[in-house]
Amino acid sequence: MISVIHIVGARPQFVKLAPLYHQMNNAGFSQEILHTGQHYDSNMSDNFFTTLDIPSPNFNLAVNNLSHGAMTGRMIEKIEQILQNKSYNYIILYGDTNSTLAGAIAGKKLKFKIIHIESGVRNNDNFMPEEINRVLTDRISDLLFCSTCLSYNNLINEGLKFNNSNCYNVGDLMFESFVNNYKNNCNDISNNILFTCHREENVTKNNLVEIISALNQLSKQFKIIFPAHPSTKNKIIKYGIECNFQILDPMLYRDLLDQIAKSKFIITDSGGLIKEAYWLEKPSLSIMRNPVWPELLDANVSYNATPAHRDIINGFQKLELIKKFKKGIFGSGDTSKRIVDIIIKNYKNE
């Protein structure tokens, strides 16, 4: 029996975990889940496990609300304490959070095999904490599963194919979760913009003022739906930023998919929400110095803007030009089976 532990800590990771957990369960894997606690609000964490029919975590470290260094260091320490008494065949990590990097470092130091889901994503912004987490995790992983051809080619160009690592383009687990959970029950499209904002670069005072100012302008023509990350809401209050639209609590996964479907446009700095907008054929604007998914820009289904009022407004005006959505950028929806088949083959060849 193949034994694994999934290390997760944030909303997108729970969404990616769900289809793989169920596929591994069907294949007879022994599985445990470690939740670092990075997202600790019930609407960002506990409710996702219930909605996605994932068992409650076996371990919850409750590490959150710290600086990047303190958070990552505390996670490494606590993860190591758990792993020292375990004998998993693989540690499975997802995406690009501090939880991802902490799991990779703790696991590799203890000589566990590391699997990284969503490997090879690059936006070449080394001031972005997520980019650092991606690159370092890929560098020490044993099995690297990519969501797109571009991500796979990034790993090949970095030489990881020849660094005792095995790289595979298997598609996107989030797409599989989307297919499993979206029921296509939306009949009316409202004059709404769904807006989210949480990345570190965007919640500095100057950038957040610019972003909210642009959304305030757009709120004169559109209804802004803003399910706010708790830390973003706290920053808006702390900085005394005037927000001319309602700040909502985070939404459950299926409710968020329904809201995307009902909205006319999406503005976000979430790499996951950008993909969900694409699958629901909604024109989207990402707010980042460098976009996480250039594949969507190359396919002319999304635009990117820097966190500046004028750039956001100019980028938004281009969204009306998006009419056609190229299919298949993130695979065909069978990612979990492909991953499980590769892991079984790798295990038998050990």
Opening angle at CA 197, ends 192 and 202, nearest 5: 135
- Local confidence pLDDT in tens for the 350 residues of the chain: 999 999 999 889 999 999 999 999 999 999 999 999 876 655 555 677 888 999 999 999 999 878 889 999 999 999 999 999 899 999 999 999 999 999 999 999 999 999 999 999 999 999 999 999 999 999 999 999 999 999 999 999 999 876 667 999 999 999 999 999 998 767 678 899 999 999 999 999 999 999 999 999 999 999 999 999 999 999 999 999 999 999 999 999 999 999 999 999 999 999 999 999 999 999 999 999 999 999 999 999 999 999 999 999 999 999 999 999 999 999 999 999 999 999 999 999 97
Q: How far apart are CA 94 and CA 116, in angstroms?
A: 6
Q: How far apart are CA 27 and CA 308, in angstroms?
A: 49
Q: What are phi and psi of 327, to 5 degrees?
A: -90, 160
- Give the contacts of 157 (CB within 8 A, at least 6 positions apart): none
Q: Say what the pTM is.
A: 0.93
Q: How far apart are CA 282 and CA 262, in angstroms?
A: 10
| Residue of 162, 163, 164, 165 lying closest to 143 (CA atoms) | 165
Q: What is the DSSP string of 49-109?
A: HHHTTPPPPSEE----SS-HHHHHHHHHHHHHHHHTT---SEEEEETTSHHHHHHHHHHHH
**DSSP 8-class letter at 182:** -
229 is catalytic: no
Question: Which one of the listed residues 6, 39, 116, 198 is annotated catalytic?
Answer: 198
CA distances from 63 to 1, 99, 202, 249, 262 (A): 31, 9, 23, 21, 35
User: The dihedral of CA 11, 145, 92, 18: what is its sign?
Assistant: positive
